[in-house]
């Protein structure tokens, strides 16, 4: 097994270029010069990764595209009988191997939540599975948390390697790279040159320092009983959801939100079945064909969002919280609703609530 390697800052484009010859390499990319929107996009020679801050959107779309064609269908008429026809289906093509370079531990943890639902349950989602199997994560030890981050409060942390294949540790003059999984070892010859003992020692210090950090206040992992106790307290939930404008941004930026809608888009005899992200914060999300909506107001929808992440999901999936503490919903909510405060408020009396 190859040891640790080192990539100098100015060698990074060359390494990404080399890797991109054999696989799709997705990197966090600034959409404008001010770096106010950072998205994961496929590497191109004129694109450099932004590694000094968290991306605006997580790399969720790499494995779970925002809009995805599941299959093509075409209705074929029977040549001998004009009253008969049949439908031919054609699946999407195979996918290429992918490396996500520069994800954060919270981004990768998001996919562990997805895995429980789309891979490990009684039904495997074949579209998710084929991309997941071919995707490797080169994850950056996270030195740049801000005041919206709370990964440690949900059982993870800025140096959490769970789910990652390669580990990127920023040091003064570049990055020390370590393979964490067998399948990542094959990439190590492409990942710069062997690291020196001094670089490895520097990287170990960084890893140790970051691993000792506790990002976020307290422990939000044991909130299920508090949620259940609060479930019927409509006044509490009305207060919590009062400011919400049901825009759905919190779900779109969330690495753990996995809901989707399916639509058939057809023209004449041909068409496509399309899957696109959906949001449980939208009014129509649960509306049934009869017109009945079991979550008719913001109260029920916001309660469901909290309950799903901090109670229903951990109860079903061995204690796993369906929130990785990335803080994106807090940064992006247009009315500054803070999910941490809501979860902490489950324990408090109503008069102490301040969201």
Binding residues vs ligand SF4 (CB under 6 A):
244-250, 253-256, 281, 309, 323-329, 333-335, 337, 339
Q: Are 75 and 65 in contact (CB under 8 A)?
A: no
Handedness of CA 327, 333, 338, 343 (dihedral sign): negative
Q: Residue 322 Cβ, how far from ligand SF4 at the closest point, in Å?
A: 8
Q: Residue 117 Cβ, how far from ligand SF4 at the closest point, in Å?
A: 15
Of 267 and 284, which has the nearer Cβ to ligand SF4?
284
Q: Residue 198 Cβ, how far from ligand SF4 at the closest point, in Å?
A: 37
Of 13 and 248, which has the nearer Cβ to ligand SF4?
248
Q: Residue 315 Cβ, how far from ligand SF4 at the closest point, in Å?
A: 17
Of 107 and 202, which has the nearer Cβ to ligand SF4?
107
Closest to 56 measured CA to CA, from 300, 247, 278, 331? 331
Q: Residue 84 Cβ, how far from ligand SF4 at the closest point, in Å?
A: 48
Q: Are 84 and 93 in contact (CB under 8 A)?
A: no
197-206: burial string, b at 16+ Cβ within 10 Å, e else? eebbebbeeb
Burial class (CB in 10 A: 0-12, 13-18, 19+), 172: exposed
Of 49 and 255, which has the nearer Cβ to ligand SF4?
255
Of 269 and 335, which has the nearer Cβ to ligand SF4?
335
Of 176 and 339, which has the nearer Cβ to ligand SF4?
339
Of 175 and 258, which has the nearer Cβ to ligand SF4?
258
Q: Residue 327 Cβ, how far from ligand SF4 at the closest point, in Å?
A: 5
Q: Residue 202 Cβ, how far from ligand SF4 at the closest point, in Å?
A: 31
């Amino acid at each position: 097994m190859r040891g640790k390697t080192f990539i100098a800052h100015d060698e990074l484009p060359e390494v990404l270029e080399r890797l991109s010859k054999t696989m799709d390499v997705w990197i966090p990319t600034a959409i404008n010069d001010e770096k106010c929107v950072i998205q994961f996009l496929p590497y191109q020679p004129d694109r450099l990764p932004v590694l000094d801050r968290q991306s605006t959107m997580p790399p969720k779309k790499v494995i779970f595209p925002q809009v995805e064609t599941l299959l093509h269908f075409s209705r074929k008429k029977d040549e001998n009988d004009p009253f008969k026809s049949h439908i031919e289906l054609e699946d999407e093509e195979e996918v290429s191997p992918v490396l996500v370079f520069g994800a954060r531990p919270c981004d990768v943890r998001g996919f562990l939540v997805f895995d429980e639902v789309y891979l490990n349950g009684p039904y495997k989602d074949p579209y998710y599975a084929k991309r997941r199997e071919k995707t490797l994560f080169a994850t950056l030890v996270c030195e740049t948390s801000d005041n919206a981050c709370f990964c440690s409060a949900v059982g993870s942390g800025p140096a959490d390697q769970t789910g990652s294949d390669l580990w990127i540790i920023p040091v003064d003059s570049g990055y020390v790279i370590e393979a964490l999984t067998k399948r990542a070892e094959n990439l190590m010859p492409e990942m710069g040159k062997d690291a020196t003992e001094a670089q490895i020692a520097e990287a170990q210090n960084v890893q140790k320092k970051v691993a000792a950090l506790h990002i976020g206040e307290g422990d939000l992992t044991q909130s299920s009983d508090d949620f259940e106790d609060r479930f019927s307290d409509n006044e509490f939930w009305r207060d919590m959801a009062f400011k919400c404008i049901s825009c759905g941004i919190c779900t779109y930026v969330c690495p753990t939100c996995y809901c989707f809608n399916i639509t058939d888009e057809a023209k004449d005899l041909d068409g496509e079945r399309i899957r696109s992200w959906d949001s449980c914060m939208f009014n129509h999300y649960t509306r049934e064909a009869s017109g009945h909506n079991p979550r008719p107001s913001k109260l029920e929808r916001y309660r469901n969002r909290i309950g799903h992440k901090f109670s229903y999901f951990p109860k079903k999936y061995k204690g796993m919280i369906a929130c990785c503490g990335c803080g994106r919903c807090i940064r992006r909510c247009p009315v500054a609703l803070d999910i941490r405060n809501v979860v902490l408020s489950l324990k408090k009396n109503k008069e102490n609530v301040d969201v």
